[in-house]
Structure formats: structure tokens, C-alpha cells
Structure 1
Amino acid sequence: MTRYPPIPPEDMSWEQKRVVRAVSERRKPSVSSKGGVSGPFVPLVYVPGILDRLQYLGEYCRFNTSFSAKLRELAIIITARHVAAQLEFHVHAMEAREFGLSQEVIDAIAEQREPQTMADDEALVYRFCTSLYAQGTVSDELFKEFEAAFGKAAAIDLVVTCGYYATLGMVLNVSQAEPPDFLKGFVSAFPVPND
């Protein structure tokens, strides 16, 4: 059971109502979401100032980074696996498949093993993200390789996207958020707690 049940509109503060309305208008539907306030955004209604600001960052991370949708979703599922966010992993694995990431890559990430059949750009994003999570940084050599392939700004795009989705994944975990109705009964790709 969720630790943060949805707040009925009549019990919301003026700021909560304002932010919920604004987020509902801005959050776009996708393969894995009906848009609006659902998933990790439900518990964030309890702190509308954070929800308001995070939603703007999320819009940037989802729609405006220098990465293709496939590479963005790859980074997100690596992040979701790192923070053991089962629902986030499930949702973004759906997106990743839609944008052309292979099931073999998705399964390998769920099993915490390096995928064997990645395209060069996928392998570079994979190495960058896994290094970031293992060491908290990337080596000079990896940074130079990444910069040559994607550009200097893309490294910041990737780091911030990982941070944003790590935040949402941890919110999902701590809040024990309920999946939206159309995802109820989903089967997790990995066990929790993380090993």
C-alpha cells in the first residue's frame, strides 16, 4: 500500500491545486503514461514546490536533451536498475522497446550484466552511465570519447537526466507508489532489495 495516497482535491492547499493543474496541463502522454499526475508525481504533490520545479526539469530531460529517445531511455533504465526502482524500470523499458532498444539489452540491464549486442552509441552511453554509478564520475579517456561522439554539453544532459530519474525512482521506492491502473499487475524484471 502506498505511503502517500492521492490527496483529494478538496483537501489540497491552493499551491497544491495550482501545481497539480499546471503539471496536468504540461505532462504529455507517452507509450507508458497517460500524462497528468501519476506514478512518482502523486507523492510529490505533498511538496508542491518540488513537484513544480522537478516537472520542468523532467520536460527538459524527456524532450529537449541532445540524445535520441532510444539513448535517453537506455540511460533511464540503467538508472532505474541502479536505484532498484521496479516500476520506473518497467515503464521505461516499454519506452525503450518502442524507440528501438533491443530486448537483449533491456534484459541484460535488468540482470545487472553488460549487454553483448549494443550499437556503438548505446555502448558509449552504457559505459558512461555505469561508470557514473560505480565511481561517481567518468575517466578522462571515457569523457574524451563521449565528447568526441556527442559533444561536451551532451555529458551534462546525460548526468542531469540520470540524476532526475534517480530522484523519481527513489521517490517511487520510498513512497511505495501504486502503479497506474493500466500497469497494475506488472511483473518486475528484477528482485528487490538490490544485490
Structure 2
Amino acid sequence: MQKDRISELLSPISDEEWPAEIESLLPCFAGKLNVYRTMAHHPNLLTAWSNLREHIVVKNALGTQRSEVVILRAGVNLLSEYEWSHHVSRARICGMSDSRIASLKEDPSRMLEEDRILATAVDELFSDKKLSENTASQLFELVGKEGILDVIATVGFYSSLGYILNTFDVPIDEYIAKEMEKKPLLNM
């Protein structure tokens, strides 16, 4: 089967086609984003995903800006325009400047020290499948033991989303596409 056909078969589910067994998720996070509307093709997976998402996105030990740094850098590693665009928006909402956000596409040596540590950790997880002793030590000093685990879990969580997004060419949600068109991220 061709990729276009698979992408079409797993395109985001409309409200009218939403599976009855996960009806309670439609007005929540799942109904708001195309990536979760795509995951709704597998109701059991989306249901199981819900609790982990709550921790990773809302209740992690990193705080909102550090979490966004990790997610944005994961989006860079995944070559996911969907994740990048959505999280540029979220990073702006939580007070990050465009220049700081844009720096997350650059070499870590050009970032704020805190962002450099987080971005290096993300890069190592993608390239080496683990943290080096030096990075783990720096990360521990920055975010503590729960924070290290949350960095690793966040990279794993967003890797799964990125694989879904990239495999099925999930479209960027319209409101985010409009925001990026109206206020593009300027490389500073």
C-alpha cells in the first residue's frame, strides 16, 4: 500500500466519525489536535496515552519553559514541522522570546546555559540512546532526579508522536498554521 493511501486511511478523525468508546476524550486534549485525532484510530492506545500525556505535558518536574525547550529540541531532532510549530506557539505563551526559541535550532554552544544542558541531553538521547555521564551530572544539577527522568520520558513521548506525525503526514492544525503565518518565528 502506498504512503499516500496509508496517510489517508489514518487521517485525523472528524467529530462525526469519533469512536464512541473514547467519546469522553473528544472535548478534552484529544479533540483539539490533529495528532490525537490520528491516534483516535486506535482508541485503546489513545486512552492509555491520556494519563502519560497528563504527566508529561502538565505535571512534569521541569516546569513549562524547560519542558518546551526539551520538546522543541526533540522536534528539531525528529524533523517535525508539526511539533516545532505547535511548540513555538506554546513557548511564546509561557513567556519565551522568539530569539530564545530560534536558538533551539542552532548548535547548543550558542544557547543559554540552561537550554544548552537540556538540548545536549535531548541530542544525546537521539544519537547515543543514553545520556553521557557529564550530561547526566549537569542535568541532575539543573533539574534533579525527577527532572532527569522527565527529560527522558518527554523525549520518548514526543518521539512516538513525531513518528506518527511524520509517517502519516499529519497536517499542522489550522489555528497554529495561521498563527505561524501571521507571526513567523524570526531567526534572530
Q: State the TM-score, normalizing by the size of structure 1.
A: 0.78
The separation in 2 between residues aligned to 1:39 and 1:9, in whole angstroms, is: 12
- Deviation, structure 1 residue 38: 2.3
Alignment CA distance shift 1:24-1:90 (3 Å): same
The structure with the greater share of residues assigned to helix is: 2
Contact 1:39 / 1:180 at 8 angstroms: preserved in 2? yes
Once structures 1 and 2 are overlaid, which stretch shifts more, 95-104 or 170-179? Answer: 95-104
Deviation at 1:100, TM superposition (A): 2.9
* Equivalent position SS for 2:33: coil
Partner of 1:116: 110
Say which of 92, 98, 105 aligns to 1:103: 98
For residue 106 of structure 1, what is the amino acid of its counterpart?
I
Q: How far 1:121 moved relative to its partner?
A: 2.6
In structure 2, the partner of 1:30 is none
Which residues in structure 2 correspond to 1:176-191 (within 5 Å)? Answer: 176-184=169-177, 186=180
Deviation for aligned residue 1:182: 1.7
Structure 2 residue aligned with 1:162: 155
Q: Match of 1:24, as an amino acid?
A: L
Match of 1:17 among 17, 20, 25: 20
Q: Which residues of structure 1 form unaligned runs of 5+?
A: 28-34, 190-195
The answer on whether the counterparts of 1:38 and 1:180 sit within 8 Å (CA) in structure 2 is yes
Q: Distance in 1 between matches of 2:48 and 2:128?
A: 28
Tell me, yes or no, if structure 1 residue 151 matches structure 2 residue 144: yes
Q: Distance in 2 between matches of 1:126 and 1:7?
A: 34
Q: Distance in 2 between matches of 1:145 and 1:10?
A: 49
Distance of aligned partners of 1:86 and 1:11 in 2 relative to their CA distance in 1, 3 Å threshold: closer
Residue correspondences, number: 176
Counting only pairs closer than 5 Å after superposition, residues 31-180 of structure 1 correspond to structure 2 as 36-110=31-105, 112-114=106-108, 116-118=110-112, 120-180=113-173
Deviation (angstroms), 1:104: 2.5
Task: Provide the alpha-carbon RMSD of the alignment.
Answer: 2.5
Change (3 A) 1:169 1:131: same
When residues 103 and 7 of structure 1 are mapped into structure 2, their CA distance, relative to the original with a 3 A threshold, is closer
Residue 9 of structure 1, CA deviation? 5.8
- 1:52-99 deviation per Cα after TM superposition (whole angstroms, max 9, x unaligned): 111221111011111110010010011111111101110101111222
SS of residue in 2 equivalent to 1:151? helix
Structure 1 segments of 4 or more deviating over 6 A?
A: none
- Hey, what's the Cα distance between the residues in 2 that align with 1:165 and 1:114? 20
2:36 counterpart letter in structure 1? F
Measure the CA separation in 1 of the matches of 2:90 and 2:123: 20
One-letter identity of the residue aligned with 1:57:
L
Unaligned runs of 5+ in 2: none
